[in-house]
């Protein structure tokens, strides 16, 4: 044993133990895992939340120096971005101008025309300001930020924004800073508005940029109530010169003194901008996320055969995500700060870690044997995959370690995260996911149990299956058809694509949700970018509490005693500040109060009056940092016009210079443009409110109209999409109750004509065998009576035995029933007797095959269900209730017991009772007769032509007009179907015939002991003279020869394969010159029909074979007790595909040219693609449905259910119709179903046969 | 081919067209597109209506691959744009999608050709690709490919050699993780070689340029990207080829049989 193998074993054992542990204590383990996840994620709380908003830092103006590039450790609260010089210094001159006193002769335009006009002189003043001290002459030209061209895309702004020079913006830019243009401009507002972008804008507009204050604060409006115009002149300085700035400040203050100004001037704010995510960066990011989601989708889609697919998929995703979080958390804990963009590398991390292990685990656990305990299943599944999991993990770790040695910091960091993530993912897989899986598997088993129980309860005697006795003849069913629908919950519909899309939209309310999400996002964008609204408010709220916030002074109690006005002009700001103590508190009062304090007292009474005649210019705390009210993209967008990015850089905003302008009415009138007076006179206060309201109404009306339009549009869309009026079906079927409509979940009912089954009555007991060759239909009941029907009309043509023998057969029937009863009683005794352990052992004493009876079921025909699984053929684990009993030699007398049972079931027919002793050849006194159990006949040699009424017919086939019947005594009889006469019989075998195949002139019989006999039917007439009758059957290529009654027919055993299988043969099928047998010994054998030569032994199932399908195209499908379906190539004997589809036995298999249809004990019908073996879809049937299947055409599937047959559309899996065979659906299941070639189906229904025509299919076939 | 060259020249004169690494295969691509269309016609003529299903299938696969190529080209182009790996005139920067209109189709065509070539070669060699044939794996492959591009565009490496070596290792890892077939390796190498030569030609003719060329005119990691791109597209193509040949046509044969009472 190599080291590798030892290692492998050890790992496997460890995983096994671990699986046991996980499955045993699911709840504590999940709690533990959750706790560890939370603990590992705890360090994440300390990480800053990602965001793109700017960050601020405030320093004092007085001792400001340009920060150095080197980080300095001692500056604790200094952020790390505050290094090096800023991109620019922003110096704003805040101008508040008003025409005072306000004159009633003034027109509205006068509010802003002359104040705006003053900007030009101010600009000139600023531009020409020169500060001269000992060190040299400084002007604005030297200090300001020189800009070059605008970006190419901004040509239309070329006239407005400065190029090739100082970046100095003011409202004057609208008029190219030329007074003449301004004076000759007839409509100022129009000029301002024409540069505004249309529609919704999220970035700063040109108006914001030029005015420097938010639009509604400018007062440039015809309806301004305050009549104060506010704007800024923004200087962008490349370098900082305190002396120049202070002299400029002093100069402006001197020219335009602001008497009541109390703005603080000692703080400069540094604003740092994060990297902006633009469209170009967003698209690759979104793409990677889309790929990630596709990956997760395709991975989790493979989770199958579990209770809750979604739950497990969620658990898988949670596993991966929380392992990532854990890895980040752990890395943070150990001092590594993530520098990578988390959002960017996240998809790659997920992809690297992957969901594969999780899926492999699920698959491995699911594929363990179902009958094991959950704990053991988990443990086995884990240990099966342990080696590959460990190997994969080691490989991945190696690869990542290699990546670590690339020595690229980013890759190293990525690898570090990936390694920790992988390890934590492994931990989570082992603890979290395995436990979740165990819980899921347990739930599934519980559900299975619940589902299985009623199905078994429906059969009082599960083991005898079709041979169970009937207590009473079924009640007559006068009008035996109703059309009802199955419970919709069990249906798995596949609708046309168009409908599915619409239904999907309707079901998920996708449109509404989409609109809702869109609205939320839109509101979010608005709130995020809205400069004046929520954001400022929030910022104010936050800054009130934060000591860092420079607006924090607003929250402090106002020091009204401090002199509000700064000392006069000319003072050096440094000296000014030294005079005033540092926190020169501004007046945080609202406007009115500050006015009351500083302003003229005469204003106070006027406040109550409606229109204030004198516009008040007041300075408040909100003016200190007017730029805060702007969009946070204000500065980045201004700089971006000149291709200067502010991402990851900062700008410094200097304290504003306040300028107050009072203009006289005369000046206002003088600067008036001739067209200004065309504007209406100032409306009164009441009408002042109106425009705003009007806008509101307009918006409301427009919104309403848009809504109505949308509704109409959607309605039209609906009409286009759903052009068919489904409601009309309800009208058409108006006579039915709504509940009876075979409509699906969405109210769609397919147009259906009523199908009425034709009931063929006559049998007195349950129908056992059913055979048809298209024209004729032969059935055999438990009583041994064979009836031949016309498949077209449903007339009974022949009864075998004929009426003369009726009595004896009837008596035989009762005798047989008694036998079953006796056997049920005798069961414990046989158990105690401890007969032979396995099948295939012969009792030498008797010289009689004492095999366990494995197939107490009828012969099988093509297109006919195999009922073995229903009967539970696993006899090895069952009490030997079906032993072919030899009469108990110890002389135990069943008489009393049997007699009682017999009397209970005896019909009150004295004649029958009187006659039975004579009818049975073996019958002596009743107890002995009963002990013979009906079919345990000593092989009494009977002459040719003497029918054997006492043994039951186990298998029957019909070809031409010959019925081949295989009896429990091993006798093969050939009957004439029309005349009802026995043509020949063969008694070469002694073991009961369990299955028959009749092809051309050969009959193959499978016997109970596993042997296979080939018979040849010889007619003493040349074959050429045989008449051929009728259209060729669907399943048999050569048409059946019609044997005329004159021919002498002999049936000879040509070859007997004694040990065809080790265990009883369960299925026998013949087609295309091949005979295929399936057995309990897990193998399928293929024989050639002509020379009975065994061609292949096909191995691949891990359970007994329960169903076989073979057709003319040589495609062979087999299903076994292991739930597997194998497709074989009959020519080569190779396995084409091998799929697991069912939990429990596969009960029936049918193929069409394109797909394979299987049904299983789990009440599931699966449709597989025949060429690829991929499951197309599955149909969940009702609990306890029959397992019989039939294919009428390529696309029409019929299944038998409890007292009904259902038609399915194979293309989409729709239930087309359910035809109820009787009135009461009392659990009388359809066990056999034969599709005739005239598109009719025949199924057994208790003691009746039901012939259902499918009319439209008939038309198509013709 | 001359026609296309001329077209490129005219474009380059008009608006200084840029290109992306993946689009390097455009000449081969469009030439092969013509060939493919010829082959398709020949096929459809030869096999007639019998094989129309197969042709339709081929065309469908080609369309899917084309779309994938177009989307990948757009996205990866954006990635390269961000880092100014490729330089273009300013007008192109302003209107990225309109001026470089011919790049995505070329990439798409190249993707279609490579993606169809992979399963074709597989079938010719008689060794169908069975390794990890599922969509989840394909998605993973695409993600890794995008990641390699991401790394090439965004990571700061000490020098170009280090970057190229890392990317080469990553590409080989991609092939080993998702492909592991000889034909895939060979075809990937072929794609990388051809595409690099074409890119060299493009840059030589001044259609666009790389910022720090260290391998003649282009970046030395370009072949690695081409290689991994070839493997990725081949992976998609193989998966498509595996999914497609299901015989769904038979299902519709008896479609009308369903309508009871009609």
- Tokens encoding A927: 């107890």
Closest CA to B181 of B224, B139, B133, B223: B133
For tokens 């009392």, the residue is A1226
Q: Which tens digits make up the pLDDT trace of A785-810?
A: 888 888 777 778 778 775 444 444 33
> Which range scores top for mean pLDDT: A30-39, A806-815, A1043-1052?
A30-39
- Whether A964 has a pLDDT exceeding 80, the answer reads yes
Strands A89-99 and A650-653: parallel
Element holding B226 (H helix, E strand):
helix B222-243
For tokens 């038309």, the residue is A1259
User: B88 to chain A nearest CA, in Å?
Assistant: 14
Q: Which tens digits make up the pLDDT trace of B146-189?
A: 888 888 877 777 777 888 888 888 898 889 888 888 888 998 99
Q: Per-residue DSSP letters for A811-880?
A: HHHHHHHHHHHHHHHHHHHHHHHT--SSTT--BTTTTB---B----S----TT----HHHH---GGGS--
Superfamily of the domain at A3-46+288-449+499-508: Multidrug efflux transporter AcrB transmembrane domain (1.20.1640.10)
Locate the chain B residue with the closest alpha carbon to A1256: B260
Q: What is the pLDDT of residue B230?
A: 92
Percent of chain B scoring above 90 in pLDDT: 11
The answer to whether the Cβ–Cβ distance between B257 and A1194 falls below 8 Å is: yes
Rg, Å, chain B Cα set: 20
Q: What is the pLDDT of residue A736?
A: 35
Q: What is the pLDDT of residue B129?
A: 76
Q: What is the pLDDT of residue A218?
A: 79
Domain ranges within chain A, ordered by starting residue: 3-46+288-449+499-508, 54-68+79-196+204-276+626-674
Locate the chain A residue with the closest alpha carbon to B251: A1211
* Mean pLDDT on A1186-1193: 76
The answer to whether the Cβ–Cβ distance between B75 and A283 falls below 8 Å is: yes
* Mean pLDDT on A350-357: 81
Percent of chain B scoring above 70 in pLDDT: 64
Cβ of A325: how many Cβ atoms within 10 Å? Answer: 17
Query: Please, is A73 exposed, middle or buried when counting C-beta atoms within 10 Å of its C-beta (0-12, 13-18, 19+)?
Result: exposed
The answer to whether the Cβ–Cβ distance between B261 and A284 falls below 8 Å is: no
- Whether A671 has a pLDDT exceeding 50, the answer reads yes
How far apart are the C-alpha atoms of A364 and A359, rounded to whole Å? 8
Considering only CB atoms, which chain B residues are within 8 Å of A342? none
What is the band of A554 on the pLDDT scale with cuts at 50, 70, 90? very low
Closest CA to A977 of A1076, A1049, A1065, A1033: A1049
- Whether B48 has a pLDDT exceeding 80, the answer reads no
What is the band of A53 on the pLDDT scale with cuts at 50, 70, 90? low
Q: What is the pLDDT of residue B228?
A: 92
Q: What is the pLDDT of residue A713?
A: 87
User: Predicted ipTM?
Assistant: 0.72
Are B212 and B157 in contact by the 8 Å Cβ rule? The answer is no
The three-state secondary structure class of A235 is: strand
Locate the chain A residue with the closest alpha carbon to B165: A406
The answer to whether the Cβ–Cβ distance between B253 and A1194 falls below 8 Å is: yes
Q: How many Cα atoms sit within 13 Å of A122 on the Cβ side?
A: 33
What is the band of A81 on the pLDDT scale with cuts at 50, 70, 90? confident
Residues facing A656 on adjacent strands: none
Nearest 5°: CA angle at B13, between B11 and B14? 65
Nearest 5°: CA angle at B63, between B59 and B69? 140
User: A726 to chain B nearest CA, in Å?
Assistant: 15
Q: What is the pLDDT of residue A830?
A: 41
> From the list A280, A284, A1195, which residue is nearest B258 (CB)?
A1195
Q: What is the pLDDT of residue A366?
A: 81
How far apart are the C-alpha atoms of A581 and A722, rounded to whole Å? 78
What is the band of A740 on the pLDDT scale with cuts at 50, 70, 90? very low
> From the list A751, A755, A1210, which residue is nearest B262 (CB)?
A751
* Mean pLDDT on A1235-1259: 70
How many CB pairs (< 8 A) connect A and B?
Answer: 144
The answer to whether the Cβ–Cβ distance between B136 and A1256 falls below 8 Å is: no
How far apart are the C-alpha atoms of A473 and B17, rounded to whole Å? 90
**Angle of the B135-154 helix axis to the A342-353 helix axis, nearest 10:** 140
Considering only CB atoms, which chain B residues are within 8 Å of A153? 94
- Tokens encoding A223: 């309806």
Q: What is the pLDDT of residue B66?
A: 93
The answer to whether the Cβ–Cβ distance between A751 and B247 falls below 8 Å is: no
Considering only CB atoms, which chain B residues are within 8 Å of A302? 134, 136
Considering only CB atoms, which chain B residues are within 8 Å of A362? none
Considering only CB atoms, which chain B residues are within 8 Å of A750? 259-260
Are A791 and A1241 in contact by the 8 Å Cβ rule? The answer is no
The answer to whether the Cβ–Cβ distance between B251 and A292 falls below 8 Å is: no
Least confident segment among A81-95, A404-418, A531-545:
A531-545
The answer to whether the Cβ–Cβ distance between B166 and A408 falls below 8 Å is: yes
- Whether A773 has a pLDDT exceeding 50, the answer reads yes
Are A920 and A913 in contact by the 8 Å Cβ rule? The answer is no
> From the list B138, B146, B156, which residue is nearest A410 (CB)?
B156
The answer to whether the Cβ–Cβ distance between B147 and A1171 falls below 8 Å is: no
Residue of B79, B148, B254 to mutate, interface with A, max A Cβ within 10 Å: B254
Q: What is the pLDDT of residue B227?
A: 93
The answer to whether the Cβ–Cβ distance between B136 and A1196 falls below 8 Å is: no
- Tokens encoding B42: 């020949």
- Whether A871 has a pLDDT exceeding 60, the answer reads no
Least confident segment among A13-22, A755-764, B88-97, B216-225:
B88-97
Locate the chain B residue with the closest alpha carbon to A288: B143
Residue of A1154, A1191, A1259 to mutate, interface with B, max B Cβ within 10 Å: A1154
* Mean pLDDT on A935-940: 40
- Whether B13 has a pLDDT exceeding 90, the answer reads no
The answer to whether the Cβ–Cβ distance between B71 and A1194 falls below 8 Å is: no
- Tokens encoding A209: 């940029």
Q: Who contacts A163 (Cβ-Cβ below 8 Å, separation ≥6)?
A: A147, A148, A149, A150
Q: Which tens digits make up the pLDDT trace of A1017-1045?
A: 877 654 444 444 444 444 444 444 455 55
Closest CA to A663 of A114, A276, A20: A114
What is the band of A76 on the pLDDT scale with cuts at 50, 70, 90? low
What is the band of A184 on the pLDDT scale with cuts at 50, 70, 90? confident
Closest CA to A1251 of A793, A867, A866, A798: A793
Considering only CB atoms, which chain A residues are within 8 Å of B160? none
* Mean pLDDT on B65-93: 70
Q: Which tens digits make up the pLDDT trace of A308-331?
A: 888 888 888 888 888 888 888 888
Q: What is the pLDDT of residue A374?
A: 83
How far apart are the C-alpha atoms of A247 and A235, rounded to whole Å? 15
- Whether A896 has a pLDDT exceeding 60, the answer reads no
* Mean pLDDT on A540-569: 40
> From the list A409, A1172, A1195, which residue is nearest B254 (CB)?
A1195
- Whether B56 has a pLDDT exceeding 70, the answer reads yes
How far apart are the C-alpha atoms of A818 and B9, rounded to whole Å? 100
* Mean pLDDT on A619-644: 76
- Whether A1077 has a pLDDT exceeding 90, the answer reads no
The answer, yes or no, to whether the previous bond of A801 is cis (omega within 30 of 0) is yes
Q: What is the pLDDT of residue A946?
A: 55
The answer to whether the Cβ–Cβ distance between B254 and A750 falls below 8 Å is: no
- Whether B111 has a pLDDT exceeding 80, the answer reads yes
How far apart are the C-alpha atoms of A864 and A1187, rounded to whole Å? 10
Q: Which tens digits make up the pLDDT trace of A364-423?
A: 888 877 777 888 888 888 888 888 888 888 888 888 888 778 777 778 888 888 888 889
Locate the chain A residue with the closest alpha carbon to B155: A410
Closest CA to A369 of A386, A389, A359, A384: A384
The three-state secondary structure class of B57 is: helix
The answer to whether the Cβ–Cβ distance between A283 and B74 falls below 8 Å is: yes
Q: What is the pLDDT of residue A47?
A: 65
How far apart are the C-alpha atoms of A336 and A47, rounded to whole Å? 11
Q: What is the pLDDT of residue B193?
A: 92
Considering only CB atoms, which chain A residues are within 8 Å of B136? 295, 298-299, 301-302, 355-356
Q: What is the pLDDT of residue B31?
A: 56
What is the band of A466 on the pLDDT scale with cuts at 50, 70, 90? very low
Query: Please, is A133 exposed, middle or buried when counting C-beta atoms within 10 Å of its C-beta (0-12, 13-18, 19+)?
Result: exposed
The answer to whether the Cβ–Cβ distance between A152 and B250 falls below 8 Å is: no
- Tokens encoding A144: 């300001």
- Tokens encoding A931: 């002990």
What is the band of A1239 on the pLDDT scale with cuts at 50, 70, 90? low
The answer to whether the Cβ–Cβ distance between A280 and B135 falls below 8 Å is: no
The answer to whether the Cβ–Cβ distance between A1256 and B74 falls below 8 Å is: no
> Which range scores top for mean pLDDT: A63-67, A688-692, A903-907, A1102-1106?
A1102-1106
The three-state secondary structure class of A414 is: helix
- Whether A1156 has a pLDDT exceeding 80, the answer reads yes
- Tokens encoding A1189: 């299947």
For all residues of chain A together, what is the average pLDDT?
Answer: 69
- Tokens encoding A1210: 């194979």
The answer to whether the Cβ–Cβ distance between A295 and B143 falls below 8 Å is: yes
For tokens 């190539």, the residue is A1129
How far apart are the C-alpha atoms of A577 and A1124, rounded to whole Å? 91
> From the list A292, A1211, A1256, which residue is nearest B255 (CB)?
A1211
């Amino acid at each position: 044993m190599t080291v590798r193998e030892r290692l492998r074993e050890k790992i496997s054992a460890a995983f096994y133990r671990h699986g046991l542990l996980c499955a045993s204590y699911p709840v504590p383990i999940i709690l533990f895992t959750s706790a560890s996840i939370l603990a590992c994620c705890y360090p994440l709380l300390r990480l800053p939340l990602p965001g793109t908003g700017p960050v601020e830092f405030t320093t004092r103006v007085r001792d400001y120096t340009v920060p150095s590039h080197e980080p300095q450790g001692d500056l604790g609260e200094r952020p790390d971005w505050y290094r090096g010089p800023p991109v620019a210094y922003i110096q704003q001159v805040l101008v508040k101008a008003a025409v005072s006193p306000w004159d009633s002769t003034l027109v509205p335009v006068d509010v802003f025309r002359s104040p705006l006009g003053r900007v030009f002189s101010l600009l000139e003043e600023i531009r020409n300001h020169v500060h001269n001290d000992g060190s040299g002459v400084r002007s604005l030209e030297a200090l300001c930020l020189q800009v070059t061209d605008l970006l190419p895309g901004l040509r239309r702004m070329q006239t407005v924004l400065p190029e090739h020079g100082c970046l100095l913006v003011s409202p004057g830019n609208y008029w190219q800073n030329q007074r003449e243009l301004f004076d000759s401009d007839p409509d100022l507002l129009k000029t301002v508005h024409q540069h505004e972008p249309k529609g919704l804008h999220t970035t700063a507009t040109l108006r914001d940029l030029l005015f420097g204050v938010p639009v509604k604060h400018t007062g440039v409006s015809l309806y301004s109530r305050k009549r104060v115009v506010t704007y800024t002149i923004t200087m962008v300085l490349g370098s900082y010169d305190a002396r120049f700035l202070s002299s400029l400040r002093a100069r402006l203050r001197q020219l335009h003194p602001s008497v009541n100004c109390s703005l603080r001037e000692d703080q400069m704010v540094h604003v740092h901008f994060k990297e902006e995510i633009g469209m170009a960066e967003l698209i690759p990011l979104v793409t990677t996320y889309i790929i990630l989601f596709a990956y997760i989708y395709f991975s989790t889609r493979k989770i199958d055969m579990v209770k809750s697919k979604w739950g497990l998929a969620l658990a898988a995703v949670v596993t991966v995500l929380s392992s990532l979080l854990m890895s980040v958390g752990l890395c943070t804990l150990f001092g590594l700060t993530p520098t990578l963009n988390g959002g960017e590398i996240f998809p790659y991390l997920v992809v690297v870690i992957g969901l594969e292990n999780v899926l492999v685990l699920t698959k491995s656990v699911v594929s363990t044997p179902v009958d094991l305990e959950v704990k053991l299943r988990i443990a086995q599944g884990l240990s099966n995959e342990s080696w590959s999991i460990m190997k994969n993990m080691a490989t991945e770790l190696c690869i990542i370690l290699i990546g670590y040695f690339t020595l690229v910091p980013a890759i190293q960091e990525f690898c570090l995260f990936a390694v920790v993530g992988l390890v934590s993912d492994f931990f989570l897989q082992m603890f979290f996911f395995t436990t979740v899986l165990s819980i899921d598997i347990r739930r599934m088993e519980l559900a299975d149990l619940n589902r299985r129980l009623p199905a078994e309860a429906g059969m009082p005697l599960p083991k005898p299956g079709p041979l169970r006795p009937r207590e009473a003849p079924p009640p007559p069913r006068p009008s035996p058809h109703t059309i009802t629908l199955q419970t919709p919950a069990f249906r798995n519909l596949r609708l046309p694509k168009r409908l599915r899309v619409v239904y999907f939209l309707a079901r998920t309310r996708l449109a509404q949700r989409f609109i809702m999400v869109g609205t939320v996002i839109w509101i979010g964008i608005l709130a995020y970018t809205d400069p004046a609204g929520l954001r400022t408010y929030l910022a104010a709220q936050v800054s009130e509490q934060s000591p860092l916030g420079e607006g924090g002074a607003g929250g402090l109690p106002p020091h009204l005693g401090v002199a509000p006005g700064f000392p006069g002009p000319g003072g050096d700001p440094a000296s000014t500040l030294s005079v005033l103590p540092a926190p020169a508190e501004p007046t945080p009062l609202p406007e009115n109060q500050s006015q009351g304090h500083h302003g003229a007292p005469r204003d106070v009474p006027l406040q109550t009056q409606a229109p204030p005649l004198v516009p008040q210019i007041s300075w408040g705390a909100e003016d200190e940092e007017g730029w805060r009210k702007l969009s946070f993209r204000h500065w980045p967008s201004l700089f971006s016009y000149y291709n200067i990015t502010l991402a990851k850089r900062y700008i410094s905003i200097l304290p504003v210079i306040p300028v107050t302008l009072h203009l006289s009415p005369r000046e206002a009138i003088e600067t008036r443009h001739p067209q200004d007076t065309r504007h209406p006179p100032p409306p009164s206060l009441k009408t002042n409110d109106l425009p705003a309201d009007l806008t509101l109404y307009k918006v409301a009306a427009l919104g309403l109209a848009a809504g109505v339009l949308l509704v109409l549009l959607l309605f039209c869309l609906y009409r286009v999409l759903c052009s068919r009026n489904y409601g009309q079906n309800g009208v058409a079927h108006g006579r039915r109750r709504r509940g009876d409509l075979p409509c699906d979940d969405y109210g769609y009912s397919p147009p259906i004509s009523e199908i009425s089954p034709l009931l063929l009555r006559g049998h007195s007991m349950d129908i056992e065998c059913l055979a048809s060759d298209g024209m004729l239909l032969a059935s055999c009941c438990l009583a041994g009576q064979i009836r031949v029907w016309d498949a077209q009309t449903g007339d009974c043509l022949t009864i075998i035995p004929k009426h003369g023998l009726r009595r004896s057969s009837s008596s035989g029937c009762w005798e047989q029933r008694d036998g079953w009863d006796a056997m049920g009683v005798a069961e414990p005794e046989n158990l105690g007797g401890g007969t032979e352990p396995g099948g295939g052992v012969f009792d030498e004493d008797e010289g009689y095959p004492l095999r366990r009876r494995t197939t107490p079921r009828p012969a099988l025909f093509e297109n006919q269900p195999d009922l073995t699984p229903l009967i539970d053929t696993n006899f090895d684990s069952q009490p030997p209730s079906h032993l072919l009993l030899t009469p108990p030699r110890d002389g135990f007398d069943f008489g009393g017991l049997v007699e009682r049972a017999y009397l209970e079931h005896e019909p009150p027919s004295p004649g029958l009772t009187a006659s039975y002793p004579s009818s049975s050849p073996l019958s002596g006194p009743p107890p002995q007769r009963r002990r013979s159990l009906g079919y345990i006949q000593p092989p009494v040699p009977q002459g040719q032509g003497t029918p054997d009424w006492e043994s039951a017919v186990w298998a029957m086939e019909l070809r031409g007009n010959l019925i081949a019947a295989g009896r429990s005594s091993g006798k093969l009889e050939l009957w004439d179907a029309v005349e009802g006469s026995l043509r020949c019989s063969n008694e070469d075998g002694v073991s009961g015939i369990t299955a028959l195949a009749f092809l051309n002139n050969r009959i193959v019989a499978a016997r109970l002991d596993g042997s296979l006999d080939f018979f040849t039917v010889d007619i003493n007439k040349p074959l050429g003279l045989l008449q051929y009758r009728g259209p060729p059957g669907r399943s048999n290529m050569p048409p059946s020869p019609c044997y005329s009654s004159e021919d002498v027919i002999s049936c000879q055993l040509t070859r007997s394969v004694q040990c065809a299988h080790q265990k009883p043969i369960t299925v026998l099928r013949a087609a295309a010159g091949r005979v295929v047998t399936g057995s309990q010994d897990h193998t399928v054998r293929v024989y050639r029909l002509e020379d009975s030569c065994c061609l292949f032994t096909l191995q691949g199932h891990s359970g007994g074979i329960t169903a076989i399908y073979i057709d003319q195209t040589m495609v062979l499908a087999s299903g076994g007790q292991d739930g597997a379906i194998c497709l074989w190539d009959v020519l080569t004997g190779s396995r084409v595909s091998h799929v697991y589809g069912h939990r429990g036995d596969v009960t029936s298999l049918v193929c069409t040219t394109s797909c394979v249809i299987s049904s299983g004990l789990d009440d599931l019908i699966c449709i597989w693609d025949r060429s690829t073996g991929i499951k197309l879809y599955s149909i969940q049937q009702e609990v306890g449905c029959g397992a019989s299947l039939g294919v009428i055409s390529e696309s029409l599937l019929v299944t038998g259910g409890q007292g009904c047959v259902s038609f399915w559309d194979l293309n989409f899996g729709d239930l087309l119709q359910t035809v109820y065979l009787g009135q009461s659906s009392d659990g009388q299941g359809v066990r056999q179903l034969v599709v005739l070639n005239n598109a009719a189906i025949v199924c057994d229904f208790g003691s009746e046969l039901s012939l259902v025509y499918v009319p439209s299919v008939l038309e198509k076939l013709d | 081919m001359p026609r296309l060259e001329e077209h490129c020249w005219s474009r380059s004169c008009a608006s200084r067209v840029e290109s992306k690494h993946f689009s390097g295969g455009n000449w081969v691509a469009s030439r092969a597109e013509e060939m493919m269309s010829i082959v398709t016609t020949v096929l459809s003529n030869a096999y007639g209506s019998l094989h129309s299903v197969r042709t339709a299938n081929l065309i469908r696969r080609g369309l899917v691959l084309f779309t994938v190529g177009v989307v990948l080209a757009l996205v990866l182009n954006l990635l390269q744009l961000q880092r100014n790996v490729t330089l273009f005139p300013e007008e192109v920067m302003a209107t990225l999608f309109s001026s470089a209109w011919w790049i995505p189709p070329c990439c798409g065509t190249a993707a279609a050709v490579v993606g169809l070539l992979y399963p074709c070669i597989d079938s010719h060699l008689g060794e169908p690709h069975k390794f990890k044939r599922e969509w989840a794996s394909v998605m993973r492959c695409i993600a890794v490919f995008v990641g390699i591009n991401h790394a090439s565009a965004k990571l700061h490496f000490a020098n170009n050699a280090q970057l190229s070596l890392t990317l080469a290792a990553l590409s080989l890892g991609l092939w080993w993780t998702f492909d592991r077939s000889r034909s895939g390796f060979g075809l990937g190498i072929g794609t990388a070689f051809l595409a690099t030569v074409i890119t060299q030609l493009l840059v030589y003719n001044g259609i666009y340029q790389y910022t720090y060329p260290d391998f003649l005119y282009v970046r030395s990691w370009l072949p690695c990207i081409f290689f991994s791109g070839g493997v990725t597209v081949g992976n998609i193509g193989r998966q498509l080829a595996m999914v497609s040949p299901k015989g769904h046509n038979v299902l519709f044969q008896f479609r009308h049989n369903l309508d009871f009472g009609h």
